[in-house]
């Protein structure tokens, strides 16, 4: 099962490195980013792809995970609004 996700990540990496300009021209970059973001969430949640395998897109992966962690922290923080 891990091999499938590792190969799918390599496809994402290829698209980001070799075809991102074409994706932007087709106005499909937002869809690619959205799809990849949830792919990252899934493979990290279930430890399906190692950090070494994610290295080619480590900056983007780190950005997605940092934003997710910030959102979770903000959602779990107590509200300061008056009751």
> Which two structure tokens, joined as six digits, stand for 52?
């070494």
pLDDT, position 77: 82
Segment 66-70 mean pLDDT: 95
Q: Over the stretch 7-43, which tens digit does the pLDDT of each residue have?
A: 999 999 999 999 999 999 999 999 999 999 999 999 9
**C-alpha distances in Å from residue 65, one per residue of 22, 36, 43:** 26, 12, 12
Whats the size of the chain, residue-wise? 83
pLDDT, position 83: 55
Which DSSP string corresponds to 2-33? HHHHHHHHHHHHHHHHHSHHHHHHTT-HHHHH
Q: Over the stretch 42-52, which tens digit does the pLDDT of each residue have?
A: 999 999 999 99
């Amino acid at each position: 099962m891990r091999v499938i996700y590792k190969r799918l990540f390599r496809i994402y990496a290829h698209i980001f490195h070799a075809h991102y300009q074409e994706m932007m021209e087709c106005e499909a970059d937002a869809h690619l980013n959205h799809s990849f973001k949830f792919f990252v969430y899934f493979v990290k949640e279930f430890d399906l792809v190692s950090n070494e395998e994610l290295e080619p897109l480590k900056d983007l992966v780190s950005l997605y995970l940092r934003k997710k962690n910030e959102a979770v922290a903000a959602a779990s923080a107590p509200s300061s609004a008056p009751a």
